[in-house]
Amino acid sequence: MSVVETTSHFWVAAPPLYSSTLLVAPGIDTSGEGRAQTRLEIFDLDGTQVNSVEVEFPASEVGFVELEPFTAALKMQGGVAHGHLKVTSPPGTRHLCRQTIGSSVVLYQDPVPVASRESSFIPVVIGGRREHMVVLVNGGEEEGQIACRLFYANRSPEWTLTVPANGSRVLSLENELLASADQKVWEKGAVQAYVRLSGKQQAPIAGHLIERALGESPEHDQYRCLLSWG
């Protein structure tokens, strides 16, 4: 591997509700000859490496890796067995992750970390039979913290999350932020809101926001990735 190799960090989760596939696309300047090697490292939510594998693809083709065989050892948090996927490939390679959640499919690019003293704002609609989960991955070798604040009506509850080195965390907006708020206007109908994520330390923490629209039954729930931030 070159010293300028491409490294990406993704949040991944285990079946039965979640299923993830890694897509590895060659750089535009590839000669198309030979084979390209990609290394996958999977860490549980506490940052312990639970799997490592190297795969090869023809240098001119997009490679696919089904991640289910490598996620069995992931730990549970908030009802989800999840962790951190670190992907390393030759220079110029692009990494994407396709995640199947129930009957829905979302495709997201390598998210850019929220740096210390930087903030990202994400518009959401709370209430109206919607639920939201913030997922975080620490791609660094040191523990990091990130503040998640939800602005709605005249309220702004905040939660500070500590994410272990190479670990991951999830935060339910409704169950953890809104459940503790004394203002319940969001329960009466759909309310426009904003999520602000602010880095508090130098650790490179990245992630995305998943929205669940409740159907008539769990089999009819719909999921989408609202944003990968940076």
- pTM confidence score: 0.85
- What's the CATH class of domain 6-109? mainly beta
Triad 20, 14, 56: Cα angle to 5°: 45
Q: Residue 27: what pLDDT?
A: 75
Give the H/E segment covering residue 160. strand 158-163
d(CA 141, CA 31): 34
The per-residue pLDDT for range 143-199, each reduced to its tens digit, is 988 888 888 878 888 888 899 999 999 988 887 766 655 555 555 667 888 888 887
Same fold yes or no, 6-109 and 119-228 = yes
**pLDDT for 185:** 53
Give the pLDDT confidence score for residue 216 in this predicted structure. Answer: 83
Instruction: Give dist(CA 102, CA 222) in Å, integer.
Output: 8
Residue 212 CA to residue 221 CA, distance in Å, equals 7
Q: What is the pLDDT of residue 89?
A: 93
pLDDT of residue 112: 65
Q: How are strands ordered across the β-sheet holding 18-25?
A: 63-66, 18-25, 94-101, 104-109
Residue 167: what pLDDT? 96
DSSP line for 3-69: TT-EEEEEEEE-TTTEEEEEEEE--TT----SEEEEEEEEEETTS-EEEEEEEEEETTS-EEEE-GG
Cβ 22 vs Cβ 65: under 8 Å: yes
Distance CA(224)–CA(213), nearest Å, equals 9
pLDDT at position 2 is 43
State both tokens at 101: 């959640």
Give the span between the Cα atoms of 43 and 113, in whole angstroms.
18
Q: How far apart are CA 169 and CA 43, in angstroms?
A: 12
The domain ranges of the chain are 6-109, 119-228
Residues lower than pLDDT 70 in the chain:
1-3, 28-33, 111-118, 177-189, 201, 227-230
- For position 156, what pLDDT does the model report? 83
pLDDT computed for residue 31 by the predictor: 58
Superfamily of domain 119-228: TM1070-like (2.60.290.11)
